[in-house]
Amino acid sequence: MRIEKTQLVSDIVDIFAQKTFMYFITYRGLTVADFADFRARLREVSASCQVLKNSAISRAWAESGRAMASDYKLTGNTALVSGMGDPAATAKVIKEFAQDHDVVTFKAGLIDDAFLDASGAEAVANLPSREALLSQVLGLIQAPASGIARTVNAKVAEVVYALGAHEENLKNK
């Protein structure tokens, strides 16, 4: 293998080692301006995009030792979207961009060591944001405590009301 290709594969292996998630997308037909806009949107969620050769990606997969679907093969044009932040936020950016540019589609994804096919990557894009999920979990955690507090308050109110009614009866006698 030529030194340039060896270096490219080595760079892709480094991306695999450093990034917590990756999405492989198709992009054929995007203009340079559209691609620049796409990359700018990805930067907002701490992600980046590189156009790579499928053969270099396949070699890097083999060298990286990361868990990949053994029967999955990338075909056609491929861009690698990768990052360290929230994989759902990045998937949402890809999905929103794809709605405006029908030439962009998910091919596959890799989150930590979990391989996702195109439908799995699309499912990540449909997840609520990390903040929304955390607030939902917090709501579930707080729900029992607030239910107990309401029950205790209701019982205290009953006692206070009963004492107040008893005092009124004593005053009226």
Model confidence pTM above 0.85: no
Distance CA 156, CA 162 (A): 10
pLDDT recorded at residue 18: 84
Q: Taking a C-beta distance cutoff of 8 angstroms, is the pair 138, 95 a contact?
A: no
Helix axes 3-18, 54-64, angle to 10 degrees: 60
pLDDT of residue 15: 86
Tens of pLDDT along the chain (173 residues) come to 688 888 888 888 888 888 889 999 999 888 999 999 999 999 999 999 999 998 888 888 888 776 555 567 888 999 999 999 889 899 999 999 999 888 899 999 988 878 888 888 998 888 877 778 788 778 777 777 666 667 766 666 666 666 665 555 556 65
* CA-to-CA dists, residue 35 to 25, 51, 118, angstroms: 13, 10, 21
Whole-number pLDDT of residue 33 = 93
On whether the 3-127 domain is CATH 3.90.1860.10, my answer is no
Which pLDDT score, from 0 to 100, does residue 101 have?
A: 87
3-state SS of 32-77 is HHHHHHHHHHHHHCCEEEEEECHHHHHHHHHHHCCCCCCCCCCCCC
10 Å Cβ neighbour count for 146? 10
Measured in degrees and rounded to the nearest 5, phi and psi for residue 122 equal -65, -40
Res 5: pLDDT = 85
Q: What residue spans define the domains of the chain?
A: 3-127, 129-173
